[in-house]
Amino acid sequence: MDWITHEEDVWFEFRGNSPHQLVPGRFYKGTVDGYADFGVFVDLASNVTGLLHRSELDRRLESLEWEPGDEVFVQVKNVRDNGNIDLGWSIRQSDSEFRGARIHDPDGDADGQPVEKEAESSGPATVKTRPKTGKTTKPVGASTSSETTESEPEQEAESEPEQEAEPEPEQDAASESDAGDEDRAPTAGDVVDDIAANGESEQDVEAEAEPESEAEPESEPEQDDTDAEQDVETEADAEDDEAERVTLASIDDRVGDVIRVEGEIASVRQTGGPTVFELRDETAIADCAAFVEAGVRAYPEVEVGDYVRIDGEVERRRGELQIETEELTILDGDEADTVAQRLADALSDEARPDAVAPLAAHEPVAAVGKSLLDAAEAIRRAVLESRPIVVRHTATADGYVAGAAVERAVLPLIRAEHPRDDAEYHYFTRRPLEEAVYGMDAATNDVTRMLEDRDRHDEKLPLVLLLGAGSTAESLDGLGLLGVYGSERVVVDAAPADDEVAEEVDVLVNPAREGADARDLSVGALASTLSVAVNEDIRDDVSHLPAVSYWENCPQQYLDLAESHGFDADRVRELREAVALEAYYQSYQDKRELIADLLFDADEGLAGHVSEQFRIKLEDEIETAQANLERRDVGAISAAVLDSDAYSHRFDFPPTGLLVDELHRRTREGDAFVTVALGMDELYLRSTGDLDLRAVVESAAEKAPAAGLAAAGIREGRIEFLTGARDEALEAVLDAAAEQF
């Protein structure tokens, strides 16, 4: 077998089912699957696809004339351990340029056998003697005489006896290579081939046809071409109207079938090859690919939110179902209203949970049962409507626990709803905040991104979910900016919310507004309950999170709940500390995978390692801070003041807020004690009593009017002032705090 020693001159037909069965160095015939910015995907088998990177091409990617479905020749350069296949360019792109063709059948008997070439026909496909029902097939150029045209029905009549004697003469005469041309208009060459096959001449056929025409003068009058075309179109339209619509949830079993679906365009993305329309109906979402040419937008008039009808073939591409669009129609009027109502009814039934079942009995959580249902419905509806969800939470352990709980609930819903592998990154984003205020900086960032995504990718405006942030009047400007663009806003906070915020946002979950005392409720505990309302399947996954969210005074029911799920007190502490440390570094990043590993998926080694770093860094800072605390007595209170600029590492862990929290826990004495971390132009205030920070600032501003005092963060106890009035600001704040005891 000389071909074995000359494999570089032979191409192979791959009949395996695994990338690892391919032989590097061999040339294979494949089928173009689609384009990407970095190259071309080529199918070597039904479930084996490789990448021909643009660096392997001998020309620019955009100059390739390949279209999806085209047969091409490529060389397998490498098969990686993960199954990815690196392909190389073959300068030979036709059978004739290779010395032979062999079958690569790793598990079969045909391995190494020659590929049987399809029988070559002597001309175009044979003309069928009896056209298909509903179509008129007239040989083009068979004769220019009117007599021949008129005799066409008689030729059919004469041919019928022959068909009875030989049931399938066409199939015997037609080659396999021409099977796909049976519906085209036959040419003069087709007719000549038929005649030659039967041993007759054109003159013989005409001679036989004329007498028959004279013998039957009452044959049907001839239709002109225009009337015939109209008849065909009318019948095709009738067939089109009768096509049965199927739901997207049912297409798993329809691979290879041409189907009709109706729904709403959820998104449009242009790839290097086809345009991909994400279609949503009342049951599911699916990708529908439409191809004009590589990188060119198909159906440019179609926009996100349009109701459409799509006819196409169901295919499986790299393991994912996809509809290859043959026809797309934008619906309007009653048809669009019907689809819209169908979607709305299904959405309402699916989006709202039946009830909220708290993780543990807790009065402030029970008080917000209805608003939790409203928030859960808003989140689920966003997923079903293919609207992105943006979660904003504080860059603290409590904030990250809250965000991770909701993330744990939503991602499986997105995966189930959207066929794309990267959908969970596309439709869900966590963006931590430095503080609990949703200010103009954060809002401008969100609005800029959402408008860019809308204009570039036809995305819908997102649902913005604020956890433990955005519930105070300081956030009104940012919330208002979102409102201008119609973005839905949901705020969930355990601390009391301001009335103005309740009027501004779409949904507010806040126990204080329901008359409940929520001083022993964390945002993490509240958000964990919300996550279960969104997705009951993750209840066991998040049951330990409420306990992790508390630094102290955790309700016993949450500790017991964590214990029952295998998280004892030491493990809970390690998780809390590890999350707090990671929350500080790269604070603007969500660190999705790392946080998930810490809270859900990793063994104890990861949390133990990170929490050890937490304790080392915190203890070093606390030791320095305690040695430099200044003790003061002001009126009825005692105070411990730390110059945080002078006696802490400002740009390393721990952040000032966490440092002053720990100092206050360790140094407080009695019921009238405050701890202050004093910076260059801001201070953090902690108290053993319930201070009204706005009232403190208002009173302090009267005592030191030139200090520029302002309540910058109510939740963090952060007060800003002018650097030049640092001492005056501190004195005024301590005096104002003392007045509240």
pLDDT in tens, 267-285: 888 887 889 999 999 888 8
How is 509-530 classified by DSSP, letter by letter? E-GGGGT---TT--HHHHHHHH
**Contact of 479 with 464, CB cutoff 8 Å:** no
CB proximity list for 351: less than 8 A, separation 6 or greater: 377, 380, 381, 384
Q: How far is CA 432 from CA 206, 322, 424, 493, in A?
A: 85, 35, 18, 15
Q: For residues 501-525, give the mean pLDDT.
A: 96
What's the CA gap between 334 and 339, in Å, rounded?
Answer: 9
Beta bridge pairs of residue 642? 677
Confidence of residue 46 (pLDDT cuts 50, 70, 90): confident
Q: For residues 590-596, give the mean pLDDT.
A: 93
The amino acid at residue 132 is K
SS (H, E, C) 184-248: CCCCHHHHHHHHHHHCCCHHHHHHHHHHHHHHCCCCCCCCCHHHHHHHHHHHHHHHHHHCCECCH
| Closest by CA position to 664, among listed 683, 642, 648, 649 | 642
Question: Which ranges of 433-494 would DSSP assign to H, the alpha helix?
Answer: 440-457, 476-484
> What mean pLDDT value characterizes the chain?
83
What's the CA gap between 254 and 52, in Å, rounded?
Answer: 30
CATH second-level architecture of 354-596?
Alpha-Beta Complex (3.90)
Q: CATH code for 2-104?
A: 2.40.50.140
Bridge-based pairing of strands 320-330 and 307-317 is antiparallel
CB proximity list for 365: less than 8 A, separation 6 or greater: 358, 372, 511, 521, 525, 526, 529
Residue 457 structure tokens: 């990718």
What's the CA gap between 352 and 375, in Å, rounded?
Answer: 9
What's the CA gap between 318 and 295, in Å, rounded?
Answer: 20
Is the pLDDT reported for residue 250 higher than 60?
yes
Could you count the other beta carbons within 10 Å of the beta carbon of residue 164? 7
- Quote the pLDDT of residue 223: 47
What's the CA gap between 464 and 487, in Å, rounded?
Answer: 7
What's the CA gap between 450 and 448, in Å, rounded?
Answer: 6
Secondary-structure class of domain 623-738 per CATH: alpha beta
Alpha-carbon dihedral sign for residues 622, 625, 626, 631: negative
Q: For residues 195-215, give the mean pLDDT.
A: 40
pLDDT per position as a tens digit, 453-486: 888 777 889 999 999 999 999 999 999 999 999 9
DSSP letter at 63 equals G
- Quote the pLDDT of residue 267: 87
CB proximity list for 650: less than 8 A, separation 6 or greater: 644, 656, 679
What's the CA gap between 50 and 31, in Å, rounded?
Answer: 10
Q: φ, ψ for residue 267 (rounded to 5)?
A: -165, 160
What's the CA gap between 278 and 418, in Å, rounded?
Answer: 8
Q: For residues 205-215, give the mean pLDDT.
A: 40
Is the pLDDT reported for residue 383 higher than 70?
yes
DSSP letter at 461 equals P
| Closest by CA position to 545, among listed 537, 534, 532 | 532
- Quote the pLDDT of residue 242: 55
> 């001839």: which residue's tokens?
222
- The b-or-e profile of 303-323 (16+ CB within 10 A means b, else e) is ebebbbbbbbebeebeeebbb
Confidence of residue 244 (pLDDT cuts 50, 70, 90): confident
DSSP letter at 419 equals -
Domain with CATH 2.40.50.140 in the chain: 2-104, 248-350
Q: For residues 603-627, give the mean pLDDT.
A: 93
Q: What percent of the chain has pLDDT over 90?
A: 59
Domain with CATH 3.10.310 in the chain: 623-738
The amino acid at residue 539 is R
pLDDT per position as a tens digit, 669-697: 888 999 999 999 999 999 998 889 999 99
pLDDT per position as a tens digit, 406-456: 999 999 999 988 877 778 888 999 999 988 999 999 999 999 999 998 887
Q: φ, ψ for residue 680 (rounded to 5)?
A: -70, -40
Residue 668 exposure: Cα atoms within 13 Å on the Cβ side: 18
| pTM higher than the cut 0.85 | no
Across the beta sheet with 507-509, the strand order is 428-433, 389-394, 463-467, 488-492, 507-509
Confidence of residue 59 (pLDDT cuts 50, 70, 90): confident
Q: How far apart are the first and last CA of the chain?
A: 99
pLDDT per position as a tens digit, 253-271: 889 899 999 999 988 888 8
Range picked from 101-110, 231-240, 324-333 for highest mean pLDDT: 324-333
- Omega into 655 within 30° of 0, i.e. cis? no
Confidence of residue 94 (pLDDT cuts 50, 70, 90): confident
CB proximity list for 510: less than 8 A, separation 6 or greater: 368, 371, 471, 491, 492, 493, 494, 496, 497, 502
- Quote the pLDDT of residue 117: 57
- Quote the pLDDT of residue 7: 63
Residue 492 structure tokens: 């969930």
CB proximity list for 226: less than 8 A, separation 6 or greater: none
- Quote the pLDDT of residue 231: 52
Q: For residues 548-571, give the mean pLDDT.
A: 96
Residue 138 exposure: Cα atoms within 13 Å on the Cβ side: 17
Confidence of residue 179 (pLDDT cuts 50, 70, 90): very low
Domain 248-350 bears CATH identifier 1.10.3720.10: no
> 């007719």: which residue's tokens?
191
Domain with CATH 3.90.1640 in the chain: 354-596
